[in-house]
Amino acid sequence: MSSETILILGGSGKTGRRVVGRLTAKGKQVRLASRSTVPAFDWTDPSGWTAVLEGVDAAYVSYQPDLSVPGAVEAIGTLCRLAAEKGVKHLVLLSGRGEDEALAAEETLKHSGVAYTIIRASWFFQNFSETFFLEGIQSGELVLPVGNVKEPFIDADDIADIAVAALTEPGHAGKTYEVTGPRLLTFGDAVAEIARQTGRDIRFTTVDIGDYVAMLEQEQIPADYIWLIRYLFTSVLDGRNETTTDGVAQALGRPPRDFADYVRETAATGVWEDLK
């Protein structure tokens, strides 16, 4: 067992739990911190952060719910300052591609005095199978306020591999890896691939953002979540990210996983079976 302690903030998220699994398999000493741990970590209350950082050598930071929300940049700044004071040697930040606020958070980290690695990621494959879009896929119709904009979706496993490499191997300090999958897909393209692999009739439907927000409000979705959805679908998904990058290859020396491989393996688990 390694004597170094690696802190994971966001350990229950798509990438965080994968990072935890990989580090544990390597025999690393992992510390998870959340609102339910002792000591507790709450992004809205910095009073407990010093205790969480005590004795930590490195940390993986995944801000919840997204670096674009108000207060995120300030929170990252506070975390970086406290990490420097507690002698944390390396911070690995999961950032968002095409988000101005995320870029501001990155700059805060870069000037913190702590060694850093930034993983600036596109949208995850796993949004279709683990959270946001899963229910729509299962029901047979995914409805979103987005048209033919293309996104280079990336596998959360690729992100976890990069994070673990940055946390445990030399050569990643001071690096910013902008990571995408190997090809561009519209949301309709992605749903069509899932439909073909599962043999199901699964449709993708585009709606106006105003109608989508009204639907969320009718379902009594919290206002801050609705704000984030509106921001992501009207700003980030405006075509600015319609390019692929070689960030995965830069970090790992191999190409990123393809969406088709993810679909084939995920379909075999049965998660996309009809709920009816």
Residues 49-83 pLDDT 10s: 999 999 999 999 999 999 999 999 999 999 999 99
Supply the pLDDT for residue 276: 62
pLDDT per residue as tens digits for the range 106-146: 999 999 999 999 999 999 999 999 989 999 999 999 999 99
The residue with greater pLDDT, 1 or 31, is 31
Whether the per-residue pLDDT at 208 is higher than 50: the answer is yes
| Spatial CA neighbour of 79 closest among 157, 15, 169, 9 | 9
| Domain assignment present for 261 | no
Count the domains in the chain.
1
| Domain assignment present for 276 | no
- Residue 260 CA to residue 262 CA, distance in Å, equals 5
| Domain assignment present for 130 | no
- Residue 236 CA to residue 133 CA, distance in Å, equals 17
| Domain assignment present for 98 | yes
Q: Please, are residues 23 and 169 in contact by the beta-carbon 8 Å criterion?
A: no
- Residue 121 CA to residue 18 CA, distance in Å, equals 15
The boundaries of the domain holding residue 18 are: 5-124+154-180+243-256
Mean predicted lDDT score pLDDT of the chain: 96
The domain that holds 103 is classified in CATH as 3.40.50.720
Q: Model-level pTM?
A: 0.96
| Domain assignment present for 59 | yes
What b/e sequence results for 69-89 when a residue is b if at least 16 CB atoms lie within 10 Å of its CB, and e otherwise? beebbebbbebbbbbeebebe
Q: Please, are residues 153 and 97 in contact by the beta-carbon 8 Å criterion?
A: no
| Domain assignment present for 36 | yes
| Domain assignment present for 272 | no
| Domain assignment present for 225 | no
